[in-house]
Amino acid sequence: MPATLDRQLVVAISSRALFDFEEENELFEAGDDRAYMALQQQRLDVPAKPGVAFSLVHKLLGFNVGAAAPRVEVVVLSRNDPISGMRVFRSAQHFGLKIERGVFTRGTSPWRYLRPLKAQLFLSANEADVRSALGAGVAAARVLPSGARASDAHPHELRIAFDGDAVLFSDEAEQVYQASGLDAFQAHEIERAGLPLPAGPFKPVLEALHRLQRDKEDAMSVRTALVTARSAPAHERALRTLMNWQIEVDEAMFLGGLAKGEFLREFEPDFFFDDQIGHVESARAHVPAGHVASGVKNV
């Protein structure tokens, strides 16, 4: 009987999102494929440094420790060549990351393998791959490799923060705001306060985290936050939507347009997801952050 990833949270991640390959990537971006491969081969026995999404992956895999069956599967899905993939696996082993599966496509887009992997989340430094994944219905974010690393203050707690519109929720309300301004947006949301928002691309990820929190009773836990530019009275529809989904978040920040970075610095997430690049830039100075290229702001 073949192996299966059913009933697991499957996270696909590129090698640059997981490890710091920025020096090597300069050769790759210059189009010198052979020199890049040669450099990676020379460094096979040199573990790569942790990248922006390293803490997220490390803690997700922590939910498998002591479990009767794996709860989370992390797969490397990379434009790297197979030889460079050897260094990725060796680096993962060095840090105790139990990553056993990988797909390496040597320069071509790997997103098409998300479907057979049944991946619910894809993290990559390549914007085109992220957009392709989102277009295929998979939650995806572009990791900014030069961003901050996660705090080590919460070793047994996975902390993730989400924006609302175009991330957890659809961009229905954001479209109103962009077309008609703040007053029209507020009126639209007050009128529809009791009507749940349609789901955004990251609703399945929040659901999967909710299941991990509910079903897993050991040293690892989950803490989630909604960090949104919404303010009262538009906050109510967002909260009622989560209530309708029967999903709880631990913290909610309705910031009314304030910069999100300093608030996220205090929450200390392992990762933050937002659809607006300005918010991601504000966040990345303090915490790991990824750009979700969905919704009207990213057309």
Q: Looking at the annotation, which residues are catalytic?
A: 163
- Determine contact, residues 241/189, Cβ cutoff 8 Å: no
Question: For the residues of 100-120, what is the DSSP string, one character each?
Answer: -EEEE-TTS--GGGHHHHT-S
Question: What's the CA gap between 290 and 94, in Å, rounded?
Answer: 26
**Do 240 and 252 meet the contact criterion of CB atoms below 8 Å apart?**
no
Peptide bond into 233 cis (omega under 30): yes
Q: Tokens at residue 252, please? A: 């909610």
Give the separation between CA 214 and CA 208, rounded to whole angstroms: 10
Q: Helix, strand or coil for residue 133? A: helix
Tell me the three-class secondary structure of 159-171, residue by residue: EEEECCECCCECC
Residue 175 Cα to chain centre, angstroms = 23
From the number of C-beta atoms within 10 Å of its C-beta (0-12, 13-18, 19+), residue 296 rates as: middle
The SS3 assignment for 212 reads helix
CA dist 236 → 68, 125, 172, 183 (Å): 40, 34, 15, 16
